Chain A
Amino acid sequence: MQPGASSVPVLDLGGILLISIQGELPDDAAVDLRTDVTLAVSETGARGVIIDISGLDMVDSFLARVLAEVAASARLLAAQAVLVGMRPSVAITLVELGLALPGLETSRTVIEAASRFGVEIRDRGDQPAARGTDRTPT
Protein backbone atom coordinates (compact mmCIF):
# COMPACT_ATOMS: atom_id res chain seq x y z
CA MET A 1 0.00 0.00 0.00
CA GLN A 2 1.19 3.47 -0.80
CA PRO A 3 2.26 5.40 2.24
CA GLY A 4 -0.28 8.10 2.98
CA ALA A 5 0.19 11.62 4.23
CA SER A 6 0.75 10.60 7.83
CA SER A 7 4.03 9.14 8.99
CA VAL A 8 2.32 6.06 10.37
CA PRO A 9 2.33 3.02 8.06
CA VAL A 10 -0.96 1.25 7.44
CA LEU A 11 -0.23 -2.45 6.84
CA ASP A 12 -2.62 -4.70 4.95
CA LEU A 13 -2.60 -8.13 6.59
CA GLY A 14 -5.17 -9.56 4.18
CA GLY A 15 -8.63 -8.56 5.27
CA ILE A 16 -7.46 -6.52 8.21
CA LEU A 17 -5.32 -3.41 8.54
CA LEU A 18 -2.64 -2.99 11.17
CA ILE A 19 -1.65 0.46 12.33
CA SER A 20 1.13 0.60 14.87
CA ILE A 21 1.67 4.04 16.34
CA GLN A 22 5.26 4.27 17.51
CA GLY A 23 6.13 7.14 19.76
CA GLU A 24 4.79 10.63 19.74
CA LEU A 25 2.44 11.77 17.03
CA PRO A 26 2.21 15.43 16.05
CA ASP A 27 -1.38 16.71 15.79
CA ASP A 28 -1.33 17.03 12.01
CA ALA A 29 0.01 13.48 11.61
CA ALA A 30 -2.85 12.23 13.79
CA VAL A 31 -5.37 13.97 11.56
CA ASP A 32 -3.67 12.59 8.43
CA LEU A 33 -3.82 9.13 9.95
CA ARG A 34 -7.61 9.35 10.13
CA THR A 35 -7.75 10.02 6.39
CA ASP A 36 -5.15 7.35 5.55
CA VAL A 37 -6.98 4.67 7.49
CA THR A 38 -10.37 5.53 6.08
CA LEU A 39 -9.05 5.45 2.50
CA ALA A 40 -7.19 2.21 3.18
CA VAL A 41 -10.36 0.55 4.49
CA SER A 42 -12.18 1.61 1.36
CA GLU A 43 -9.40 0.48 -1.01
CA THR A 44 -8.74 -2.88 0.60
CA GLY A 45 -12.24 -3.73 1.77
CA ALA A 46 -10.77 -4.61 5.14
CA ARG A 47 -13.19 -5.84 7.80
CA GLY A 48 -10.98 -4.98 10.70
CA VAL A 49 -8.63 -2.18 11.69
CA ILE A 50 -6.19 -2.94 14.49
CA ILE A 51 -4.63 0.10 16.11
CA ASP A 52 -1.62 -0.76 18.25
CA ILE A 53 -0.81 2.01 20.72
CA SER A 54 1.66 0.08 22.90
CA GLY A 55 4.32 2.57 21.79
CA LEU A 56 2.44 5.57 23.21
CA ASP A 57 3.29 6.85 26.68
CA MET A 58 0.49 9.42 26.57
CA VAL A 59 -2.93 9.80 24.93
CA ASP A 60 -4.55 13.20 25.37
CA SER A 61 -8.07 14.29 24.41
CA PHE A 62 -6.95 15.30 20.92
CA LEU A 63 -5.50 11.90 20.09
CA ALA A 64 -8.39 10.13 21.86
CA ARG A 65 -10.76 12.02 19.60
CA VAL A 66 -8.79 11.06 16.48
CA LEU A 67 -8.82 7.39 17.55
CA ALA A 68 -12.59 7.55 18.14
CA GLU A 69 -13.07 9.17 14.75
CA VAL A 70 -10.95 6.54 13.00
CA ALA A 71 -13.22 3.91 14.58
CA ALA A 72 -16.37 5.79 13.59
CA SER A 73 -15.24 6.21 9.96
CA ALA A 74 -14.25 2.55 9.79
CA ARG A 75 -17.63 1.50 11.15
CA LEU A 76 -19.45 3.50 8.48
CA LEU A 77 -17.44 1.54 5.91
CA ALA A 78 -18.46 -1.73 7.60
CA ALA A 79 -15.09 -2.32 9.27
CA GLN A 80 -14.45 -2.60 12.95
CA ALA A 81 -11.58 -0.88 14.73
CA VAL A 82 -9.90 -2.54 17.67
CA LEU A 83 -7.53 -0.71 19.98
CA VAL A 84 -4.63 -2.77 21.26
CA GLY A 85 -1.85 -2.37 23.77
CA MET A 86 -2.79 0.63 25.87
CA ARG A 87 -0.39 1.03 28.77
CA PRO A 88 -1.92 0.90 32.26
CA SER A 89 -0.72 4.40 33.13
CA VAL A 90 -2.37 5.73 29.97
CA ALA A 91 -5.63 3.91 30.80
CA ILE A 92 -5.72 5.36 34.34
CA THR A 93 -5.07 8.86 33.01
CA LEU A 94 -7.65 8.66 30.22
CA VAL A 95 -10.39 7.50 32.57
CA GLU A 96 -9.57 10.27 35.03
CA LEU A 97 -9.55 12.76 32.18
CA GLY A 98 -13.11 11.62 31.49
CA LEU A 99 -12.38 9.76 28.26
CA ALA A 100 -13.08 6.08 28.72
CA LEU A 101 -13.66 5.77 24.94
CA PRO A 102 -16.79 3.62 25.20
CA GLY A 103 -17.17 3.34 21.44
CA LEU A 104 -13.79 1.68 20.94
CA GLU A 105 -13.34 -2.06 20.98
CA THR A 106 -10.18 -3.27 22.71
CA SER A 107 -8.03 -6.39 22.67
CA ARG A 108 -4.97 -7.32 24.64
CA THR A 109 -2.68 -8.19 21.79
CA VAL A 110 -2.53 -7.80 18.02
CA ILE A 111 -2.80 -11.61 17.75
CA GLU A 112 -5.99 -11.63 19.81
CA ALA A 113 -7.44 -8.73 17.82
CA ALA A 114 -6.62 -10.41 14.49
CA SER A 115 -8.28 -13.63 15.61
CA ARG A 116 -11.57 -11.70 16.01
CA PHE A 117 -11.55 -11.34 12.26
CA GLY A 118 -10.50 -14.91 11.61
CA VAL A 119 -6.91 -13.96 10.79
CA GLU A 120 -4.30 -16.07 12.48
CA ILE A 121 -0.98 -14.47 13.31
CA ARG A 122 1.51 -17.02 14.56
CA ASP A 123 3.56 -15.95 17.51
CA ARG A 124 6.99 -17.43 16.86
CA GLY A 125 8.05 -16.54 20.34
CA ASP A 126 11.17 -14.69 19.27
CA GLN A 127 9.45 -11.34 19.47
CA PRO A 128 7.28 -10.18 22.33
CA ALA A 129 3.70 -9.55 21.24
CA ALA A 130 2.81 -5.86 21.33
CA ARG A 131 1.09 -5.45 24.62
CA GLY A 132 0.83 -2.27 26.57
CA THR A 133 3.03 -2.34 29.59
CA ASP A 134 4.50 0.59 31.39
CA ARG A 135 7.87 -1.00 30.78
CA THR A 136 7.57 -0.89 27.01
CA PRO A 137 10.48 1.25 25.83
CA THR A 138 9.36 4.47 24.22
Chain B
Amino acid sequence: MSTDERATVSLPVRNDADLMTVRQRVRTLAQELGFGLVQQTKLVTAASELARNTLIHGGGGSVTVDAVSDAQGRDGLTLTFRDEGSGITDVDRALRDGYSTAGGLGMGLSGSKRLVHEFSVDTALGEGTTVSVTLWRGHASHGPR
Protein backbone atom coordinates (compact mmCIF):
# COMPACT_ATOMS: atom_id res chain seq x y z
CA MET B 1 0.00 0.00 0.00
CA SER B 2 1.38 3.41 -0.89
CA THR B 3 0.06 6.86 -0.35
CA ASP B 4 1.55 8.21 -3.58
CA GLU B 5 1.26 11.95 -3.03
CA ARG B 6 -2.51 11.96 -3.05
CA ALA B 7 -5.06 13.64 -0.90
CA THR B 8 -4.48 13.51 2.82
CA VAL B 9 -7.03 15.22 4.98
CA SER B 10 -6.69 15.64 8.71
CA LEU B 11 -9.69 16.46 10.88
CA PRO B 12 -10.10 17.05 14.60
CA VAL B 13 -12.36 14.80 16.65
CA ARG B 14 -13.04 16.94 19.71
CA ASN B 15 -16.80 17.29 19.94
CA ASP B 16 -20.20 16.33 18.63
CA ALA B 17 -20.01 18.77 15.72
CA ASP B 18 -16.69 17.27 14.63
CA LEU B 19 -18.40 13.90 14.21
CA MET B 20 -20.74 15.44 11.64
CA THR B 21 -17.84 17.07 9.81
CA VAL B 22 -15.96 13.76 9.71
CA ARG B 23 -19.00 11.98 8.26
CA GLN B 24 -19.53 14.66 5.63
CA ARG B 25 -15.88 14.80 4.56
CA VAL B 26 -15.53 11.03 4.36
CA ARG B 27 -18.71 10.88 2.28
CA THR B 28 -17.41 13.55 -0.12
CA LEU B 29 -13.98 11.92 -0.48
CA ALA B 30 -15.52 8.49 -1.10
CA GLN B 31 -17.79 10.01 -3.75
CA GLU B 32 -14.86 11.71 -5.42
CA LEU B 33 -12.97 8.46 -5.53
CA GLY B 34 -15.92 6.77 -7.26
CA PHE B 35 -17.10 4.56 -4.41
CA GLY B 36 -20.59 3.15 -4.94
CA LEU B 37 -23.43 4.19 -2.66
CA VAL B 38 -23.35 1.09 -0.45
CA GLN B 39 -19.59 1.40 -0.03
CA GLN B 40 -19.88 5.11 0.75
CA THR B 41 -22.48 4.33 3.40
CA LYS B 42 -20.36 1.57 4.94
CA LEU B 43 -17.29 3.77 5.13
CA VAL B 44 -19.18 6.76 6.53
CA THR B 45 -20.87 4.53 9.13
CA ALA B 46 -17.53 2.99 10.15
CA ALA B 47 -16.06 6.51 10.35
CA SER B 48 -18.92 7.62 12.60
CA GLU B 49 -18.47 4.64 14.95
CA LEU B 50 -14.71 5.04 15.18
CA ALA B 51 -14.78 8.82 15.54
CA ARG B 52 -17.25 8.44 18.38
CA ASN B 53 -14.90 5.94 20.04
CA THR B 54 -12.06 8.45 19.68
CA LEU B 55 -14.25 11.07 21.33
CA ILE B 56 -15.82 9.00 24.11
CA HIS B 57 -13.11 6.49 24.99
CA GLY B 58 -10.04 8.40 23.82
CA GLY B 59 -11.05 11.80 25.14
CA GLY B 60 -10.79 13.27 21.65
CA GLY B 61 -8.15 13.11 18.97
CA SER B 62 -7.99 13.30 15.22
CA VAL B 63 -8.62 11.39 12.03
CA THR B 64 -6.60 11.43 8.84
CA VAL B 65 -8.08 10.32 5.55
CA ASP B 66 -5.67 9.08 2.89
CA ALA B 67 -6.38 8.12 -0.69
CA VAL B 68 -4.31 4.97 -1.23
CA SER B 69 -3.67 2.40 -3.93
CA ASP B 70 -2.21 -1.08 -3.75
CA ALA B 71 0.10 -3.13 -6.01
CA GLN B 72 -2.88 -4.29 -8.07
CA GLY B 73 -3.80 -0.69 -8.78
CA ARG B 74 -6.90 -0.73 -6.59
CA ASP B 75 -7.90 2.61 -5.16
CA GLY B 76 -9.05 2.93 -1.62
CA LEU B 77 -9.46 5.19 1.36
CA THR B 78 -7.64 4.69 4.64
CA LEU B 79 -9.01 6.33 7.77
CA THR B 80 -6.71 6.57 10.77
CA PHE B 81 -8.17 7.58 14.12
CA ARG B 82 -5.73 8.63 16.81
CA ASP B 83 -6.24 9.51 20.44
CA GLU B 84 -4.02 9.89 23.47
CA GLY B 85 -6.47 8.39 25.90
CA SER B 86 -6.02 5.55 28.36
CA GLY B 87 -5.74 2.85 25.70
CA ILE B 88 -7.70 -0.38 25.39
CA THR B 89 -7.05 -2.95 28.14
CA ASP B 90 -8.17 -6.01 26.18
CA VAL B 91 -8.43 -5.51 22.41
CA ASP B 92 -9.87 -9.00 21.76
CA ARG B 93 -12.62 -8.30 24.24
CA ALA B 94 -13.23 -4.81 22.84
CA LEU B 95 -13.70 -6.38 19.41
CA ARG B 96 -16.40 -8.72 20.65
CA ASP B 97 -19.99 -7.97 19.66
CA GLY B 98 -21.96 -6.48 22.50
CA TYR B 99 -19.00 -5.60 24.68
CA SER B 100 -19.27 -2.02 25.91
CA THR B 101 -17.66 -0.02 28.67
CA ALA B 102 -19.67 3.11 27.91
CA GLY B 103 -23.19 1.72 28.07
CA GLY B 104 -23.53 1.62 24.30
CA LEU B 105 -24.63 -1.24 22.12
CA GLY B 106 -21.07 -2.52 21.97
CA MET B 107 -21.22 -2.79 18.20
CA GLY B 108 -19.04 0.18 17.27
CA LEU B 109 -15.62 -1.44 17.05
CA SER B 110 -16.69 -4.98 16.16
CA GLY B 111 -19.29 -3.76 13.66
CA SER B 112 -16.90 -1.31 11.99
CA LYS B 113 -14.48 -4.15 11.39
CA ARG B 114 -17.13 -5.92 9.32
CA LEU B 115 -17.79 -2.82 7.20
CA VAL B 116 -14.24 -2.44 5.88
CA HIS B 117 -11.61 -4.61 4.18
CA GLU B 118 -8.67 -3.87 6.44
CA PHE B 119 -8.73 -3.10 10.11
CA SER B 120 -5.99 -2.67 12.67
CA VAL B 121 -5.82 -1.49 16.27
CA ASP B 122 -2.65 -0.25 17.90
CA THR B 123 -3.04 0.58 21.54
CA ALA B 124 -0.86 1.05 24.61
CA LEU B 125 -2.17 1.55 28.12
CA GLY B 126 -1.86 5.16 29.14
CA GLU B 127 -0.60 6.23 25.73
CA GLY B 128 -3.58 6.07 23.47
CA THR B 129 -5.10 4.17 20.61
CA THR B 130 -4.76 4.25 16.83
CA VAL B 131 -7.39 2.51 14.73
CA SER B 132 -6.78 2.27 11.01
CA VAL B 133 -9.30 1.03 8.44
CA THR B 134 -9.20 0.74 4.65
CA LEU B 135 -11.99 0.18 2.15
CA TRP B 136 -11.06 -0.62 -1.43
CA ARG B 137 -13.27 0.61 -4.22
CA GLY B 138 -15.53 -1.91 -5.92
CA HIS B 139 -14.43 -4.84 -3.79
CA ALA B 140 -17.54 -5.27 -1.70
CA SER B 141 -19.39 -8.54 -1.61
CA HIS B 142 -22.52 -6.57 -2.45
CA GLY B 143 -21.13 -5.38 -5.78
CA PRO B 144 -19.62 -2.16 -6.91
CA ARG B 145 -22.63 -0.04 -5.96
Q: Is the interface of B mostly helix, strand, loop or mixed?
A: helix
How many residues on the B side are at the interface (Cβ–Cβ under 8 A)? Answer: 29
Contact between A60 and B142, CB atoms less than 8 A apart: no
Contact between B107 and A99, CB atoms less than 8 A apart: yes
Q: How would residues 12 to 27 of chain B score, 1 for a CB under 8 Å from any chain A CB and 0 otherwise?
A: 0000110110011001
Instruction: Pick the contact of A93: B17, B38, B110 (CB < 8 A).
Output: B38
Residue A27 interfacial (CB < 8 Å): yes
Contact between A97 and B107, CB atoms less than 8 A apart: yes
Interface size class of A (residues with CB under 8 A): 20 to 34
Residue B52 interfacial (CB < 8 Å): yes
Instruction: Pick the contact of B38: A24, A61, A92 (CB < 8 A).
Output: A92
Residue B71 interfacial (CB < 8 Å): no
Residue A43 interfacial (CB < 8 Å): no
Contact between B41 and A99, CB atoms less than 8 A apart: no
- With both beta carbons as reference points, the residue of chain B lying nearest to A24 in the complex is identified as B20
Please give, as numbers and ranges, the residues of chain A lying within 8 Å of B27 by CB-CB distance.
Answer: 57-58
Contact between A93 and B42, CB atoms less than 8 A apart: yes
Contact between A28 and B97, CB atoms less than 8 A apart: no
Give residues in B with beta carbon < 8 Å to A. Answer: 16-17, 19-20, 23-24, 27, 37-38, 40-42, 44-45, 48-49, 52, 97, 104-105, 107-108, 110-112, 114-115, 142, 145
Known: A96-B115, A97-B111. 4 other contacts (CB 8 A): A61-B107, A93-B41, A93-B42, A134-B37
